[in-house]
Structure formats: C-alpha cells, structure tokens
Amino acid sequence: MKYTKIIAALVLAGVFAFSPALLAAEKKGKKKPESAERAKGKGNPMLEKLGLSAEQKKAFVALQKETGEKRKEAGKDRDAQKAVNAEFEGKLKEILSEEQMATFKKLQAEARKGKGGDKKGKGKK
C-alpha cells in the first residue's frame, strides 16, 4: 500500500514536470508568418477575404503598420486610441471600395464577437 502511493506520486510528478515542456514544443510547431511575410500581407486572412488588388494590399498593409505605431504611442489613453481608430477608418475608406468596406466591417464585427469584444453597455454585475 505504501509503495503504491509513492509510485502514484512519482507518476503524477513526472506528468506535471513534462507537460509544460510538451506544450512549449507544440507551440513551436505552430509558427506564425514571419514579420517580413506579414509586412507584405501574406498570412492575413482578412486581406484574402477582401479581394484586394496588389496596390490596395500594399496601401492596406502600410496603413496597418502606421496605425499600429500610432496605437503604441497612444498607449492606454482611450481618447487617443479612438482618434487613431477614426483616422484609420477614414484612410481605409480611401483605399477600399464601398463593397470591400462593407465586407471589412462585417469581418471586423465577427472578429470582435469571437473575442468577446462586442459587449458595449454591458457593465459588470
């Protein structure tokens, strides 16, 4: 009986000791596109779904990069973030057609819904 408990404890310790290593190895197998590829718009499913021309892709990726930098500068200032988002949307309307813009809004809403970001007005209870 005594040995059974010791063996069970050792087995559990071994499982818990190796599980973080196994998870890390799994994550290494799932690589994101390299930053150079992302800079060209490769690996971005939204670009594919919008059906952008090469010129539009180039402008869209440049706008995303510019906006990302501005968001970092804005930090956690909500007003600054809103201003950056409004500027992004205004410039995006110049790049996309009306149909593409509608598709973009739809994809954006779906992404927010999936992340739980569409919870306006639902405060903590």
pTM for this predicted structure: 0.58
Q: Which amino acid is at 34?
A: E
What is the distance between the alpha carbons of residues 55 and 62, in angstroms, rounded to a whole number? 11
**pLDDT band, very low/low/confident/very high, at 73 (cuts 50, 70, 90):** very high
Among 64, 115, 117, residue whose Cα is nearest residue 91: 64
What is the distance between the alpha carbons of residues 85 and 82, in angstroms, rounded to a whole number? 5
Mean pLDDT of 27-45: 58
Determine the pLDDT at residue 101. Answer: 93
Determine the pLDDT at residue 111. Answer: 86
Determine the pLDDT at residue 89. Answer: 93
Neighbours of 102 (CB within 10 A): 11
More confidently predicted of 48 and 16: 48
Burial label, 41 (beta-carbon count in 10 A; 0-12, 13-18, 19+)? buried
Q: Is 67 helix (H, G, I), strand (E, B) or coil?
A: helix
Q: What does the pLDDT look like over 75-105, one tens digit per residue?
A: 999 999 999 999 999 999 999 999 999 999 9
Instruction: For residue 104, give Cα distances in angstroms to 13, 22, 78, 100, 109.
Output: 49, 38, 23, 6, 9
Determine the pLDDT at residue 125. Answer: 46
Burial label, 79 (beta-carbon count in 10 A; 0-12, 13-18, 19+)? exposed
Average pLDDT across the chain, whole number? 78
